[in-house]
Structure 1
Amino acid sequence: MNRRDFLKTSLAAAAAAAGSVFLGGALLNVAAAPAERKGQGGKMKILVITGSPRKNGNSSTLAEHFIRGAEEAGHEIVRFDAAFKEVHPCIACNKCGMNGECVFKDDFEFVRKHILDAGMVVFATPMYYFGISAQIKAVIDRFYAINGSIHVPKKAALLMTYADNNKRKEKAITDHYEVLLDYLGWSDAGQVIAPGVWPVGAVNHTKYPEQAYLLGKSV
């Protein structure tokens, strides 16, 4: 079976199990899934995935301010600091069938557990060599094993920091984020992009922590 046929077969099986239909490269959800997995009073679980290997990194600071705002709004926050966890890169073995058990039993199991019923997923990353950090990319690549389960309505947000001040440099990350959301059927709730911050703590003297807080407060 070639890769195209494999993807169609795997996604069709996953969609049938989840009450969805696979049509020409997209998942059309036909089940009456709760809108963005909201709980009582519009509150929801939010999974925040950070990618900075610096404990007090600037993108982590944005994540902390977002979390404070979201908690004040009454949401449940679950945080996964990818750089301090063990997440093996995907090796494209296809043993998971795009919606099953992964051959690696590592800290991604925490993400698998919490992302399914989360109403929102937040990605907080620094720009490393003009892309997202390797630590957070490894987590996103492992979404492959839960592909059929996460094609449900969710909100998402991007918190990103980088040392340069050229907006063109942002596109590698923002385009990746937007294409990922388009594929998954998630909706963008907001982006906080902080240019010109490099040393640890540099973002503290900018407007961006407040923007991250207000975004968390508003979702």
Structure 2
Amino acid sequence: MKIVVLTGSPHRQGTSALLADEFIAGAVSKGHAIVRFDTAFEKVGPCRACYYCDRHDGECIQKDAMRKILPEILSADMIVLVTPLYYFNMTAQLKTVLDRLMPQRAALRKHPMKSAMLVTCGSNTDWNMDAIMAHYKVLQQYLPWEDQGVVLAKNVFARKDIEGTDYPPAAKALGERL
């Protein structure tokens, strides 16, 4: 299975990067092919809502990193969203990439995929993950994606906080179960 992993953190060695690495290790150990994009380090402009794509057969007016990201998503069997929680939702970098799926929304809606989400959060409050989970569920309904699992890592503000917890093994196990 081809899996596209989209990370959203601007920290290459942060908490969510560790979860991404562990998920990938688990999936690769079972023979899955991984394509990873660290969205914080890609040049992707926000959707301009210009609808150029509707008049040009799904082509976006912007010529940026989405030209390499979007074809990988369109040919994937699974998408994995990995992000730290920023103000109760995914990072702007990851959200920008998701917004830019718009030119191919019709194709994506005809291309069911498996999905998973890995989220880290510095807080230990139970409701902190509610908004991001609601967003993920709406994406599953709209595109359509079939959830394969979620890892919600709370109370892990820094890398040292997540190392040695059950969260990295849970991310690896999710990759191994596919």
Q: Which residue does the alignment assign to 1:116?
A: 74
Q: Which residue does the alignment assign to 2:146?
A: 187
Larger radius of gyration: 1
Number of aligned residues? 176
Spell out, residue by residue over 1:24-65, the C-alpha distance to the aligned partner (whole angstroms, 9 max, x if none): xxxxxxxxxxxxxxxxxxxx1000000000010101110000
Spell out, residue by residue over 1:130-158, the C-alpha distance to the aligned partner (whole angstroms, 9 max, x if none): 11100100000001011011112110000
Give me the whole-angstrom Cα distance separating, in 1, the residues matched to 2:176 and 2:5: 14
SS in 2 for 1:113: helix
TM (norm. structure 1) is: 0.78
Where relative contact order (Cα < 8 A, 6+ residues apart) is larger, the structure is 2
Q: Does 1:165 align with 2:131?
A: no
- How far off is 1:185 after superposition? 1.5
**Which structure 2 residue ranges, 5 or more long, are not aligned?**
none
- How far off is 1:200 after superposition? 2.9
Q: Which residue of 32, 35, 39 corresponds with 1:78?
A: 35
**Which structure 1 residue ranges, 5 or more long, are not aligned?**
1-43
Runs of 4+ with deviation above 2 angstroms? none
Give me the whole-angstrom Cα distance separating, in 1, the residues matched to 2:72 and 2:145: 16
Q: Which residue does the alignment assign to 2:170?
A: 211
Q: Which residue does the alignment assign to 2:8?
A: 51
Give me the whole-angstrom Cα distance separating, in 2, the residues matched to 1:111 and 1:201: 31
- How far off is 1:205 after superposition? 2.2
- How far off is 1:194 after superposition? 0.1
Give me the whole-angstrom Cα distance separating, in 1, the residues matched to 2:62 and 2:162: 36
Identical-pair percentage: 44
RMSD: 1.1
Q: Which residue of 46, 49, 54 corresponds with 1:92?
A: 49
Spell out, residue by residue over 1:136-182, the C-alpha distance to the aligned partner (whole angstroms, 9 max, x if none): 00000001011011112110000000011112110110110011111
Give me the whole-angstrom Cα distance separating, in 2, the residues matched to 1:203 and 1:93: 42
